[in-house]
Structure 1
Amino acid sequence: MTTKTTLFDAADYLDTPERQVAYITAALKSGDADFVRDALGLVARARGMADIAKKAGLNRESLYKALGETGNPEFGTVMRIVNALGLTLSARQAPSGPAPKRRRTA
């Protein structure tokens, strides 16, 4: 007897803007650049790669390459993708506070 399985695609579960934002926020909080890239890719797939590529001013192949497993998109490309997703990035002080200032020694 063989067991039938179906392919799991996390993009299928990122079906609301709230879930998409929560997923990208978790990726950003992790500080892991690969996780952030993957999260942007999953959300882009959930919304439709062709549409996001068009809004970002990229061709679909370039978008797949930038957000793929070995992708290393330039920051400008990341910002174009974020804008195409209708999102913004913001900064907050980290919970541990600022790094201590170094004193100059003569």
Structure 2
Amino acid sequence: MTSTPARFTPFDASEFLDSEESIAEYLAAALEDPDPDLFVAALGDVAKARGMTQIAREAGLGRESLYKALTPGSKVRYETVRKVMDVLGVRLTVSPQG
């Protein structure tokens, strides 16, 4: 008996980021991880879900530059993160640990 190997497609979080609440929760969860690349990747997922070209245009950035900036390990500037978050309609908040 020969079995066919299972085929899996890569998980794409951007397919599930369809509301303001899911986007905010996704980014908040990513921000809790100490690895900054996780937050950068999550921000990229959200930008992809909303349309990278549109986000880049509204943030005043080039599309290719935005893709590069939101790639893990990119050392993205805070200014870029802030512009993208403003366009996405989300903000960072600070609270005491505990």
Band of TM-score, shorter chain: 0.7 to 0.9
Larger relative contact order (Cα-Cα within 8 Å, sequence gap ≥ 6): 2
Write the distance in 1 (CA, Å) between the matches of 2:66 and 2:33.
23
1:17 to 15, 20, 23: 20
Q: CA RMSD in A?
A: 1.6
Instruction: List gaps (5 residues or longer) in structure 1.
Output: 96-106
Q: TM-score, normalised by structure 1?
A: 0.80
Q: TM-score, normalised by structure 2?
A: 0.86
Q: Larger Rg: 1 or 2? A: 1
Deviation at 1:93, TM superposition (A): 1.0
Instruction: List gaps (5 residues or longer) in structure 2.
Output: none
State the percentage of identical aligned residues: 42
Size of the aligned set, in residue pairs, is 95
Displacement over 2 Å in runs of 4+: 1-8
Deviation at 1:82, TM superposition (A): 0.9
Deviations 1:66-105 (A, max 9, x none): 001331111111111111111111111111xxxxxxxxxx
Aligned residue number for residue 41 of structure 1: 44
